[in-house]
Amino acid sequence: MKKHEAWAYNVLQQLAYLLIIFVAFPLIIWTGLAMSPSFVSAFPSAVNVLGGQQSARTLHFFLTAALVLFLLVHVFMVILAGFWSRVRAMITGCAVRKEGA
């Protein structure tokens, strides 16, 4: 199947997803664990590397804000691009093309 230009992601989009999946999500899990007194008792370096429990907490907050913003922007874009066709594409994994597209 030939890839249509409209269905491919550009470099910035790819970078954004790369950052969210491989940087933001692992970091938010890590900073979350760094706030757990039990986890930190077993793995103290997990919080020391981050500069202490309060630094972990600050990072966790900013990451939360970033992820929520990412989500809101995407919901907004889905609405702009046609809510039902996009949601259907998300669930079924394939996009329905309009005639002549």
Partner 1 sequence: MSKLSRRQLIAAGALTAAGAGGLAVAAKLAHRYGLVPPDSGGIYGPGATLTYAAQRLLTRHSMAREFSRSQISVKPLQNEVSPLGDEFKQLQAAGFADWQLKVDGTVAEPKTFSLAELRSFPRRSHITMIQCEEGWSYIAEWTGVPLAHVLTVVGAAPQATHVVYRSFEKEWWESIDMADALHPQTLLAHEMNGGELPVGFGGPLRMRVTRQLGYKSVKYITSLTVTENIKQFGKGLGAASPETGYAWFAGI
Residues that bind partner 1 (CB under 8 A): 35-42, 44, 47, 53-54, 57, 92-94
CB of 11 to partner 1, least distance (A): 29
Record the tokens describing residue 11, joined without a space: 């470099």
What per-residue string of b and e applies to 40-51 under the rule 16 or more CB within 10 Å gives b? Answer: beeeeebbeebe
Pair of tokens at residue 40: 């930190």
Instruction: Report in angstroms how near the CB of residue 72 gets to partner 1 at its nearest.
Output: 24
Q: Closer CB to partner 1, residue 16 or residue 32?
A: 32
Three-state SS for 64?
A: helix
d(CA 8, CA 4): 7
Which C-beta is closer to partner 1: that of 10 or that of 45? 45
* CB nearer partner 1, residue 10 or residue 38: 38
Supply the minimum distance, in Å, between the C-beta of residue 85 and partner 1. 14
